[in-house]
Structure 1
Amino acid sequence: MNSFKKVTAIRGMNDILPADSGQWERLESLVREWLRSYGYRNLRTPVLEQTRLFTRGIGEVTDIVEKEMYSFTDSLNGESLTMRPEFTAGMVRATIEHNLTYDRPQRVFAIGPVFRHERPQRGRYRQFHQIDVEALGFAGPDVDVELILMLARLWKILGLADIRLEINSLGSAEERLAHRQALITYLEGFKDQLDEDGQRRLYTNPLRVLDTKNPALQEMADNAPRLLDYLGEASLAHFDGVRQRLEDAGIAYRVNPRLVRGLDYYNLTVFEWVTDRLGAQGTVCGGGRYDGLVSLLGGKPTPAVGFAIGVERLLDLWSQAQPAEPQPECDVYVLHQGEPAARAAMRLAEDLRDAGLDVVLHCGGGSFKSQMKRADGCGAEYAVILGEDELAEGAASVKALRAEGVAQRRVAMAELPAFLVEELVRTGGPE
């Protein structure tokens, strides 16, 4: 008796099965085309980074660093390593290390998994995926708005509605410090009403206290000193530039003074696209400007702005707008009976692939009836059949499984690739 206990996936880290992965691939293909249309190029960074990159870049007094990172000590050299909880810090590290902005600004993107030890729920997992877009070396506000316009175009491409834009300005470090002092003084008057997290953040990250979900504290948060009232001339001019360009482009938005983002490195413009269609996890995309991060991580001062989209949440929204249709596994399924036919079928399948067709060759034996059932089940447009009679004629039988046309006919093997390509074009089947 096998005593080995069955292994299952780690909680909050999900398998993406073949029935679902086709929709992921469709989305990623659309996203890559969309990003290319704005001049963005792919930058791939490692999943593992030194822990100090995130504690320095994200901020030690953040939920991510305090309780959500997957960190461990490398047994070979004693270094503390972390599985990336977000992309931006790693993208900036790569920019500095390889001098990417030495001679010109860079527009870059990444798509992949990130890791946070959170309580799994709809739209929030421990391994989830992000589309991360960064514009490095641009001072804005034009690039800030271009990123927002990019996102408006993506929602249009995907046919998504009911996504609202909220914006705010976090100003400069000096302006945030002045506001922080006023905010602490104000919040101290409500200290007894704050929960444990709120009291802890009161003197370390008071802006996050305003992000409370406690209904009893909403009036307190609504009446708190607003950062917008502490902005100087330059910060206000930047924010006014963002608003003017959004209005020029016809993009509706709401100024949300309590929009602060959860990471320490943001300044000036911050924005979120939100929806009511995802339950409590309503943020589809968040981003903003982080002009101080490059120098904070040891590089030359460089303005930068970017955003991240949660892929799982985006797929959830997309499936509501356009339910996914089953994707066929191939254009052609090749059936065969007998050893000589099996050998000929393998050669024929390669010839068909040379012609640009997607082909599944039946493996594992079985009757023609069972093979045909599998051909139909995999979504193929055509079945190609090889048996003794076909081999004797140097031909194959072709059966249309979905497309209009002759139900079955024989075609010489030498002519078969061109015939099937022409048929797929004629009937509008897969390209």
Structure 2
Amino acid sequence: MRLSVIGCGYLGAVHAACMAALGHEVVGIDVDAEKVAALSRGEAPFYEPGLPEVLTEAMASGRLRFSTDIADAAGSQVHFVCVGTPQKPGEYAADLTYVDASVDALVPHLSAGDLVVGKSTVPVGTAARLAATVSTAVPGAMLAWNPEFLREGFAVKDTLTPDRFVYGVPSGTDGETATGLMDAVYAEALATGTPRIVTDYATAELVKVAANSFLATKISFINAMAEVCEETGADVTQLADALGHDERIGRRFLNAGLGFGGGCLPKDIRAFMARAGELGADQAVGFLREVDAINSRRRTRMIDLAREVNEGTIRDKRIAVLGTTFKPNSDDVRDSPALDVAAGLARQGAHVVVTDPQGIANARRRHPELTYVETVAEAVAGADSVLLLTEWAEYRDLEPDDLAGLVATKTILDGRNALDPVRWRSAGWAYRALGRP
């Protein structure tokens, strides 16, 4: 099939490359000429494992190209809208400027029978409004909503072999036609038994924000338990293990630590709260305010711990921070707990030396006042304390003895409960972690 992908950021670039890998003829459209030029050279503009290989192969096949001209989308049967929906400055609500602009720019190039497919995360009610815009401007053109469920670090796998498809389609014949087109796009995954849920616009829009809200709630729940554990001397990691054996609860996302960040969970739950308020359903999601507050407190608590292990003050202390990204296997530092803590330490007078396998360039743009180095050895040299804030594999696998001769003081704070406290304490280190005695 001929497909267009409007917006070639994280979601769009991955989607375009993967659709071409599945055999479709794809054109990716973006207003950023520099980004388009990089993608046209087969260069991913961000770090995502597996994407460079898929992108290179797709470009070599001739099935994938990129353009800054929206007119190049004409002639495609299905048009995916993959632009961002950031949080509005000073508000919780989502900014739909890019979604609206994309649809408005695309409309003059649509034909009857074309399908516009929204993949961006939007407030409920957006799809119905955009469907009216599309069908009014181009009779016979249709709109569907197909939320994405990508995990950074696993985006290629999640696109090629997703755990489910959700289609939000109109009622009647148009809905049947839209479903048929979507099935044709995703034929390969559907043939292997991937579940498919066909529903209305509102339900499809809610699936993504409801899923993110549930995950955020589970993370904040175990972090709330970590706060209780710190007051009682209990061990939150053992608590999570015990809870996880209950099949109704499960162990995944019960890892206490610095909490969640990135470009999705924080802004999506805030936008959900804002939209619920507009609809008069704010009481139904009021618990998300506490979820958000618990998440923010984890960052403050880590700075408090740093002060505690440094005899009450971090002023003029040399602190090594391992990790800037919000999670491993990514270069994304948006709303990163790790980078937030590093900046907070610096504001309180510490000399903060930061390293990360992939996130240094992005972190430096946001916080140029910090000192950045390439290796763990450089970061911990002469450190009064070491903070592990992003659980990259190379940090989880660190050997206590390898660092002992480099630091000024053998003190480590485990912000992700990723290390074995027995091993580190046995090697003579003072070990502290969130929610553990």
Category of TM-score, reference length = shorter chain = under 0.3
TM-score (norm 2): 0.25
TM-score, structure 1 normalization: 0.25
Structure possessing the higher relative contact order (Cα contacts under 8 Å, 6 or more residues apart): 1
- Higher Cα Rg: structure 1 or 2? 1
Bigger helix share: 2
